[in-house]
Structure 1
Amino acid sequence: TVPFGNCVLSTKDTCIGTEICAELWSPNSPHIQMGLDGVEIFTNSSASHHELRKADQRVTLVRSATTKSGGIYLYANQRGCDGDRVYYDGCAMVAINGDVVAQGEQFSLNDVEVIPATLDLEDVRTYRGELCQPQMGRELRPCFRVKVDFSLSGSADLYLPTHQPVQWHFHTPEEEISLGPACWLWDYLRRSGQAGFLLPLSGGVDSSSTACIIYCMCVLLCQAVRKGNSQVLEDVRRVVGDESYTPQHPEELCGRIFTTCYMASENSSEGTCSRARELASQIGSTHLNINIDLAVKGILGIFSAVTGRWPQFTAKGGSIRENLALQNVQARLRMVLAYLFAQLSLWTRGKPGGLLVLGSANVDESLTGYFTKYDCSSADINPIGGVSKTDLKSFLLYCAEKFQLTALTGILAAPPTAELEPLTDGQVTQTDEADMGITYSELSTIGRLRKISKCGPFSMFCKLIHMWKDILSPTEVAQKVKLFFRRYSANRHKMTTITPSYHAESYSPDDNRFDLRPFLYNTRWPWQFRCIDNQLAQMAPKAPNH
């Protein structure tokens, strides 16, 4: 016969059981049954991805696993980008009887981290004898034991001091945004074989947030190099194409691997242009000013030559269809130019390699489809596609204070705008929230209700009339709910082509975190190609003997 169920390892001095990854999150976790059956040490090899505000849940679950019935919990978690949308954020820990006694880093550029802890098994037995009562009326299913002839402890361990509980440091959401996407971007860049990033920088909150994440990445890289991380230094040198280069300052490194560009049109204001230029100067990126009017007129000229018509904005007497088409032409041309400059800007400077194009559409805009299909939201990767506008504003406030980026003050004060319609007396009249008919704060609430609470239109209306009773009437709530679901439904097709985004929120519309197919592969295939070469060598005909 073959035993089925949980198997535990019984040594001469203790008993060890194992959980796998998500079993810790299960309401009937294996550690419950194993603890009741006398298992004293639980291990968990996990692949738990990062989400904003998730670390607290993870630590609480590990502590809870040993609070009720005692025991030692050894939690190890994957770290880094696996070529897809999620980032695995480490957080290894050791807990005993409800207390965490050793903590690993949550975000780090180190590929491997080992955390040690010395614990006394007698503390587990004392805890169980003091606090845990016999399970009356519960049928216990014993775990199958594999007995081994060795001990984890020895007589000399008697003199080792045991580790004491530590106070877990949780990052704020703003710190998480500065660390998680930054580590993800660096892991992606160093494995992609590209020479850096290019970002269309509009001078608004979203693109500025992406720029600040790149700056945070450069800060982390410089810190790692100063601490003697040889792997990071080797990767940086390979990316910049200079084997003698050692980064000294984040701004200097930004200038080497990060290009920003402001793509102006006749509808752009001087305010957004100056804000983009000032932020680029402060973070050190190589900044380009590009005017797209010539390209826009060329496209419209082709249309006019074929149809004999020249579309106009509504401000100049055109229809709504004309107005939208004219906005989309500008937006899509920016995407085309972004990829052109990403491919050839380093070539113009006599440097090898190309640049990865970064997107900067936030999670709330994606929910309503408030972007042009195949515009600058179409990029190689997007570090903020799973982050709400509300969190991005808080993140920029954090960056302004931590890194003294004064340009962010003006960016945060300006109303979000696409700047795709004509200016009025040189001033912007088009704003994102007016176009959408919903504020970004309202969108965050609606997004969570739709995805996390699984609300349809009616159940969402029933919840929101109570949540927003102090600010909106039931009629106004009904209008916003209907407007959102109309927009969400009409623009759902845009989700099929959305840029792969860093997964940071469980209500992200680009929820492909469980699609385990990476979109970044190792192009060298070292092991497989080596096997082919070895096989070819064995198959090669031997030279004839003379």
Structure 2
Amino acid sequence: MEETRLMLAAAALNQTPMDWAGNLQNIHTAISEAKQNSTHILLLPELCITGYGCEDMFLSPWLSEMAFNQLLQIKEWCDGITVAVGLPVFLDKKVYNTACVIKHKEIIGFTAKQFLANDGVHYEPRWFTPWPAHEVQEFEFFGQKYKIGDIIYEEQGVKYAFEICEDAWRPNRPAERHMPKGVQLILNPSASHFALSKTDVRHRLVVEASKKYQCAYMYANLLGNEAGKMIYDGEVLVAQNGKLIRRNELLCFKDVDLECAEVCFSDKPVIEEVIEYLPPIDENTELVSALSLALFDYMRKSRSRGFVLSLSGGADSSLCAVAVAEMVRRGVESIGMEAFMNKALLFTEEEKAAIGQMPQQEALKAMVGKLLTCAYQGTVNSSNDTYTSAKELAESIGATFYKWTIDDEVVGYISKIEGALGRRLTWEQDDITLQNIQARVRAPGIWMLANIRYALLLATSNRSEASVGYATMDGDTAGSISPIAGIDKAFIRQFLIWAQQELGYTGLQYVNNLQPSAELRPSEEEQTDEKDLMPYEVLNQIERLAFHDRYSPEEVYDLLLEQNIAAPDLLKGWITKFYSLWSRNQWKRERYAPAFHLDDYNVDPRSWLRFPILSGGFKDELKRVQQK
């Protein structure tokens, strides 16, 4: 073929389910920027008109009708450009996930997704119907007829077609049948959720597809915390014939992140610019980038006025505090101080002006002080070490910090129950009761601060604790959001050391010298989490083998025994404790505050792992483990 050069553009968009005005504004911005760059084809993410996370609202016919009304507005902005935009289409009582192609203000057709994601966090077959390969139909909407199905399009003699997100992850992907038909460009609009190191897999998927099919491949993902739990990294990729041409900065704080690339189409295309991709991924950097953006979007989209945190001086609450500080630092770095304060929706004009006059570090601390309020709630069982840890960290990042004790409230509740029962409560007889009342009594005061400030209360439980129920309901699980419930404790501990050394959070030196402890028993008992449970590294290995890899308790035992994790009897005890506590505490996992999906799996029953509240508790399986 004769050489044809097309300016291609793809945009990551930070959308919100059913935020019609906000979503439309971002789409308009992307189209305007693309036109300024003389773009021929602009690719926007999957379901970007409605948002990907509408859940069961997709089953309501009115939603698709609203989306189509937005599409007709978007069409009028597409003079002199071709735009691919995602929306649901309700047809014959079925809903299809489609990418609509608009060319010069005319709707050319709708390509419908053919493979639906139905694993892990995905639930697409509940809402959508897969489209059969090769089939093209015609439908009528608002008096106009349109083509829908497995369509091949053309731009200046260049044939192009679609793979919509999951389509590209299947062995019999649409590209397999597109290429014999002369397709030279594949467009992939996606809503591919964030997980640690996933970008490496996605990069290889796109680049290797462009090499295998000797084509150009353009990919656009959603950006930010769209609907509450899933985070999208906003990845934009353009590749051709096995070479990466364009890639953007992931997890930015922009509403629209657009990348352009001029691509040559010919029998022997000229590829003038190649980007070197250098794995491996730094998962610590990934985690803090995703967590800080997720917190910012959750705060502003819920119209909350910052965060409140019960800062114990331990690892979990310290990570939550650092995440908010990083939210401010990374947000300012990404979009600038003024834009960050404007998007946060809680700084007055006077505060903006005053902060704008400060030196950079002082300004960052002032913003953290506005956005994060912490309180240390001590008891007679609390140590000076944890108080110092909490105080020094809060001061080092600029957070507003309070301290008080809760002993009077604890004594009051204990006295009431002792009076009702007619006996004293003792540590020998009432250990769990006396531990839990301390954690629960901390909740009302910190909730009061959150209510007074109209702020989000951060719950501090991690994934390891959630697995075995090592958390007090209505105590340390109390909160509006549980940002670290998807991260295991071993990862958190090494992350905090990294954050101290690499990010300069010197206030973490105190927590990094402490052994994790609930500090609920008398201090002479020297309580630690791992004494109560087992080494966190072992707990996490059991959890992953059991629920990510789906091995039976016996298989988990055999695999860990092969690794010489511990002596047989000790290992049997740990495995028995893990499965027993797991089964007993499903009801707690059902009640956790909303959590972010950050790893390749989690234990959230509302997003990744369902388990019955009532079960046999693995009794037979654990009996066989003990008999080995």
Give the equivalent residue in structure 1 for 2:431.
Answer: 323
Q: Secondary structure, in 3 states, of the residue corresponding to 1:119?
A: strand
Q: Within 2, Cα distance between the matches of 1:112 and 1:56?
A: 22
Work out whether residues 91 and 105 of structure 1, in 8 Å CA contact, stay in contact via their aligned partners in 2: yes
Classify 1:292/1:192 alpha carbon distance in 2 versus 1 (closer, same or farther; 3 Å): same
- Write the deviation string for residues 29-66 of structure 1: whole angstroms up to 9, x where unpaired: 21222123321100011001111111111111111211
Q: TM-score, normalised by structure 2?
A: 0.70
Is residue 2:124 matched to residue 1:28?
no
Structure 1 residue 197 displacement after superposition: 0.4
Tell me what 1:335 maps to.
Answer: 443
| Residue of structure 2 equivalent to 1:388 | 488
Pick from 452, 459, 476 the counterpart of residue 570 of structure 2: 476
Q: Once the 2 structures are TM-superposed, how far is the Cα of residue 180 of structure 1 from its aligned partner?
A: 0.4
- Look up the match of 1:218: 328
Which amino acid counterpart does residue 545 of structure 2 have in structure 1? Answer: L
Given that residues 78 and 89 in structure 1 are in contact (C-alpha distance below 8 angstroms), is that contact kept between their aligned partners in structure 2? yes
Report the Cα distance in structure 2 between the residues aligned to 1:511 and 1:61, rounded to whole angstroms: 29
Question: Which residue matches 1:81?
Answer: 225
Task: Please point out which of 458, 462, 471 is paired with 2:554.
Answer: 458
Q: Which residue, 123, 126, 130 being the options, matches 2:268?
A: 126
Q: Quote how far apart the aligned CAs of 1:282 are.
A: 0.4
**Structure possessing the higher relative contact order (Cα contacts under 8 Å, 6 or more residues apart):** 1
| Equivalent position to 1:59, from 203, 225, 230 | 203
Alignment partners' CA distance in 1, 2:365 and 2:281: 24
Task: Indicate how the Cα distance of structure 1 residues 429 and 244 shifts in structure 2: closer, same or farther if over 3 A, else same.
Answer: closer
What code does the residue aligned with 1:289 have? K
Match of 1:245 in 2: 352
Instruction: Work out the CA distance in 2 between the residues paired with 1:98 and 1:69.
Output: 9
Give 1:446 deviation, angstroms.
1.5
Question: Which region of structure 1 is more displaced relative to structure 2, 408-417 or 270-279?
Answer: 408-417
Report the RMSD for the aligned CA atoms in angstroms: 2.2
Mean Cα deviation higher: 242-251 or 443-452: 242-251
Letter in 2 for 1:270: N
Tell me if structure 1 keeps the 8 A contact 2:341–2:347: no
Partner of 1:3: 136
Kindly indicate whether the alpha-carbon contact (under 8 Å) linking 1:251 and 1:285 is maintained by their aligned counterparts in 2: yes
What is the aligned counterpart of 1:434 among 528, 531, 544?
531
Map 1:93-108 onto structure 2 (within 5 A).
93-108=237-252
Report the more deviating stretch, 388-397 or 49-58: 388-397
**Cα distance in 2 between the residues matched to 1:170 and 1:305:** 61
- Report the Cα distance in structure 2 between the residues aligned to 1:435 and 1:39, rounded to whole angstroms: 61
- The Cα of 1:10 is off from its aligned counterpart by 3.1
- The Cα of 1:478 is off from its aligned counterpart by 2.5
Partners of 1:300 and 1:41 lie apart in 2 by: 70
Q: Distance in 2 between matches of 1:188 and 1:243?
A: 25
Conserved in 1, the CA contact under 8 Å of 2:194 and 2:232? yes
Total equivalences in the alignment: 458
Tell me what 2:283 maps to.
Answer: 173
Give the Cα separation in 2 of the matches to 1:23 and 1:311: 61
Structure having the higher Rg: 1
| Cα 1:2/1:461, change in 2 over 3 Å | closer
Amino acid in structure 2 at the alignment position of 1:115: E
Does residue 592 of structure 2 align to residue 510 of structure 1?
Answer: no
Is the counterpart of residue 400 in structure 1 residue 496 in structure 2?
Answer: no
Taking structure 1 as reference, are residues 14 and 337 closer, same or farther at Cα in structure 2, changes over 3 Å only?
Answer: same
- Whether contact under 8 Å (2:135, 2:150) holds in the other structure is no
- Maintained 8 Å contact 2:237/2:246: yes
Superposition map of 1:334-353 within 5 A: 334-344=442-452, 353=453
CA deviations 1:143-187 (Å, max 9, x no partner) are: xxxxxxxxxxxxxxx9xx843333357651111121101001001
Cα distance between partner residues in 1 of 2:449 and 2:287: 27
More strand, by proportion: 2
User: Are the counterparts in 2 of residues 177 and 213 from structure 1 also a CA contact under 8 Å?
Assistant: no
Instruction: Answer yes or no: is 1:113 the counterpart of 2:257.
Output: yes
Deviation at 1:333, TM superposition (A): 1.1
Rounded to whole Å, the distance in 1 between the matches of 2:310 and 2:300 is 21
In the alignment, which residue of structure 2 is the partner of 1:42?
A: 186
CA offsets, 1:505-533, max 9 Å, x none?
A: 23311153479xxxxxxxxxxxxxxxxxx
Amino acid at match of 1:456: S
CA shift, 1:461, in A, is 1.8
**SS in structure 1 of the partner of residue 187 of structure 2:** strand
Q: 2:580 aligns with which of 472, 482, 486?
A: 486
Tell me: CA distance 1:512–1:243, structure 2 relative to 1, closer, same or farther (3 Å): farther
Deviation at 1:312, TM superposition (A): 1.6
Q: Whole-Å Cα distance in 1 between the matches of residues 449 and 180 of structure 2?
A: 63
Aligned to 2:545, the other structure's residue is in SS state: helix
How far is the alpha carbon of 1:502 from its aligned partner? Answer: 1.0
Change (3 A) 1:2 1:365: closer
Q: 1:194 offset after TM fit, Å?
A: 1.9
Q: In the alignment, is residue 374 of structure 1 matched against residue 480 of structure 2?
A: no
Matched, 1:182 2:300: no
Residue 133 of structure 1 corresponds to which residue in structure 2?
none
In the TM superposition, what whole-angstrom CA distance separates every residue of 1:275-310 from its partner, at most 9, and x where no partner exists? Answer: 111111101100010200011111112212322222
The alpha-carbon deviation at position 323 of structure 1 amounts to 1.1
SS at match of 2:377: strand
Per the alignment, in what secondary structure is the counterpart of residue 198 of structure 1?
A: strand
**Taking structure 1 as reference, are residues 93 and 170 closer, same or farther at Cα in structure 2, changes over 3 Å only?**
farther
Q: Secondary structure in 1 aligned to 2:258? A: coil
CA 414–93 in structure 1, closer or farther in 2 if over 3 Å, else same: same
Q: Which amino acid in 2 is paired with 1:206?
A: D
Match of 2:412 in 1: 298
Gaps of 5+ in 2: 1-133, 138-148, 610-628
Q: State the secondary structure of the residue aligned to 2:259.
A: coil
Deviation of 1:409 after TM superposition, in Å, equals 2.1
Q: 2:370 aligns with which of 245, 256, 273?
A: 256
Q: In the alignment, what sits opposite 2:90?
A: none
Deviation at 1:6, TM superposition (A): 2.5
Q: Deviations over 1:386-429 (max 9, x none)?
A: 111222122212221234322312211211000001112xxx60
Specify the code of the residue in structure 2 equivalent to 1:377. Answer: T
- SS of the residue corresponding to residue 245 of structure 1 reads helix
Task: Give the C-alpha shift of residue 459 in structure 1.
Answer: 2.1
> CA 1:478 to 1:100, structure 2 compared with 1: closer, same or farther past 3 Å?
same
Rounded to whole Å, the distance in 2 between the matches of 1:112 and 1:221 is: 14
5+ residue gaps, structure 1: 128-157, 345-352, 516-546
Distance 1:95 1:253 in 2: 40
Partner of 2:398 in structure 1? 284
Contact 1:120/1:162, CA 8 A, preserved across alignment: no
1:524 maps to: none
- Which of 288, 307, 312 does residue 202 from structure 1 map onto? 312
Report the AA paired with residue 347 of structure 2. V
CA distance in 2, matches of 1:358, 1:255: 16
Secondary structure, counterpart of 1:182 in structure 2: helix
The residue identity in structure 2 corresponding to 1:245 is K
How far residue 83 of structure 1 moved from its aligned partner, in angstroms, is: 2.5
Tell me, yes or no, if the aligned pair for 1:451 and 1:506 is still in contact at 8 Å: no
2:510 aligns to what? 410
Letter of the 1:434 counterpart: K
One-letter code aligned to 1:415:
Q
**Aligned counterpart, 1:532:** none
